[in-house]
Homo-oligomer: A and B are copies of this chain.
Amino acid sequence: MPHSASRPLTLHPDRLLPADPATRALARELYASVAGLPIVSPHGHTDPSWFAGNASFGNATELLLVPDHYVFRMLYSQGVPMEALGVGGAKVDPREAWRLFAERYHLFRGTPSRMWLDWVFAEAFGIDVRLDGGTSDHYFDTITDALTTDAFRPRALFERFNIEVIATTESPLDSLEHHAVIGASGWQGKVVTAYRPDPVVDPDFEGFRDNLRTFSDLTGEDCLSWTGYLNAHRQRRAFFASMGATSTDHGHPTALTADLGTVEAEALFRKVLAGTFTAEDAELFRAQMLTEMAAMSIDDGLVMQIHPGAFRNHNARVFETFGRDKGADIPSRTEYVRALKPLLDRFGNDPRLSVILFTLDESTYARELAPLAGHYPCLKLGPAWWFHDSPEGMRRFRRATTETAGFYNTVGFNDDTRAFLSIPARHDVARRIDCGFLAELVMEHRIEDWEAAELAQELSYNLVKQAYKL
């Protein structure tokens, strides 16, 4: 039973719509026309084993706190040790870990995590009081109890969330066994993979050389030869495509591309294999591999996604103690104009290529990315990403890119998340913000109302299907 002084939790139907009454009325109408559209999630990090095994999700802490680095990074920044939250496999009483979170839920005021979580609490679990120290146990019990029911198993949620298709992200070394299980299961949910080759294209990746040996074993190619290595990619890409993949994904530190001749490329490959490479060699190899991937995309039709600019694992102690993806990846300045030129010089005008660019450096939206996407036929702009997947971030994205690239060089929304339960909330935020933006354009007579209605459909549903070939 919640604390007697607890505050009611309700989701206002007009949340995130512009404050001006006439603009809001218009935005509300646009939103109503897209709110019920199916979710197309072309890029994210849900675990395919959830949908393969369809097991229950455990308790509130295991589901919502431990895996969500948006949440525990904020708590950590305010002095809560990660160990106390159960991050990194630390043994904790999940109810007490949850309480540490509940008592500090005010830290999330004004953040997108707060909006997503409130949606999960209210809509997914039907909770009607706000989370705080006094309601902590009520939350923990309500959520944990619900998770034992069939209605909260992964497949049931997938259906309830009206997900038309979701893409996971796997390494070329992944067997895709879970996807195979899903495919063979007779369940109708569409879960596809995406080809994320970082472990075998990034010489700085943990175990790079071992990964290449596994790559050889998996493909029967000699991945210690340049030709065999490229063939292995081709083979795995074809396998991924056969498991539904329509895209590849590249999470490099920068957007650098290169277009070396075969001799130089081979020599560089031998260098990175030998382990004697410099930081510049590693960067050049990754750069070359983007161009190689583009060449393969022209052949097999997979859409390239480039997600550059994160300084990964910035906190040395946290990385040593807890490993990757612990909220310590920090964006850094990213350059695109010179970086992409080698790839674009080679393939930029080829109608068969499609490259979706993302950024963590918003200063590039209007300066570099929109001008590039507004010219090159192969380039499109991914939505506001990661730290910028937020109401203000999405508004900045639309305001900074639309005038130069238009709407049709963008690709709808990506949730990019492993927080499965938040997926509807994230798409809902994007639809609300886009409808608010469109309503503002109508109010200023920059587009007509019927155009806004068409665009609301495009941004919520059509563009993502076209851009990702889904």
**A residues engaging B (CB < 8 A)?**
7, 11-12, 14-23, 73-74, 76-79, 106-112, 114-115, 311, 314-318, 327-333, 335, 337-338, 341, 344-345, 348-349, 351, 360-363, 366-368, 370-377, 379, 387-388, 390-393, 399-400, 402-409, 440-441, 443-448, 450-451, 454-455
Residues B391 and A403 in contact, CB atoms below 8 Å apart: yes
B residues near A405, Cβ cutoff 8 Å: 77
Residue in B17, B79, B110, B409 whose CB lies within 8 Å of A77: B409
B residues near A21, Cβ cutoff 8 Å: 22
Nearest chain B CB to A386's CB is how many angstroms away?
9
Residues B76 and A375 in contact, CB atoms below 8 Å apart: yes
Q: List 21 A-B contacts (CB under 8 A).
A: A15-B446, A74-B406, A76-B377, A77-B375, A77-B379, A78-B377, A78-B408, A78-B409, A106-B454, A108-B406, A110-B402, A110-B446, A111-B406, A315-B344, A329-B371, A330-B372, A333-B335, A363-B367, A371-B387, A392-B400, A392-B403
Q: Please, how many angstroms separate the alpha-carbon atoms of A371 and B332 in the complex?
A: 10
Nearest chain B CB to A394's CB is how many angstroms away?
10
B residues near A363, Cβ cutoff 8 Å: 333, 361-363, 367
B residues near A341, Cβ cutoff 8 Å: 314
Residues B377 and A110 in contact, CB atoms below 8 Å apart: no
B residues near A333, Cβ cutoff 8 Å: 335, 363, 367
Given pairs A109-B455, A314-B337, A392-B403, 19 additional interface contacts (CB within 8 A): A12-B445, A15-B444, A15-B445, A16-B444, A17-B444, A19-B440, A74-B406, A77-B375, A78-B377, A111-B402, A111-B406, A114-B446, A114-B447, A311-B338, A315-B344, A315-B348, A330-B337, A332-B368, A392-B402
Q: Please, how many angstroms separate the alpha-carbon atoms of A450 and B18 in the complex?
A: 21
B residues near A368, Cβ cutoff 8 Å: 330-332
Known: A79-B351, A332-B338. A73 touches B375 (CB 8 A): yes
Residues B77 and A377 in contact, CB atoms below 8 Å apart: yes
B residues near A332, Cβ cutoff 8 Å: 335, 337-338, 367-368
Q: Please, how many angstroms separate the alpha-carbon atoms of A372 and B327 in the complex?
A: 10
Closest to A440 in B: B19
Residues A374 and B77 in contact, CB atoms below 8 Å apart: yes
B residues near A377, Cβ cutoff 8 Å: 76-79
B residues near A361, Cβ cutoff 8 Å: 363, 367
Residues B391 and A111 in contact, CB atoms below 8 Å apart: no
Nearest chain B CB to A108's CB is how many angstroms away?
6
Residue in B315, B376, B444 whose CB lies within 8 Å of A19: B444
Residues B23 and A19 in contact, CB atoms below 8 Å apart: yes
Closest to A318 in B: B349
Instruction: Please name the 6 residue pairs, one residue from A and one from B, whose CB atoms are nearest each other, closest first.
Output: A15-B445, A12-B445, A19-B443, A390-B403, A110-B402, A363-B363
Q: Please, how many angstroms separate the alpha-carbon atoms of A445 and B23 in the complex?
A: 16
B residues near A370, Cβ cutoff 8 Å: 387
B residues near A106, Cβ cutoff 8 Å: 408, 451, 454
Residues B407 and A110 in contact, CB atoms below 8 Å apart: yes
Residue in B107, B318, B376, B392 whose CB lies within 8 Å of A315: B376
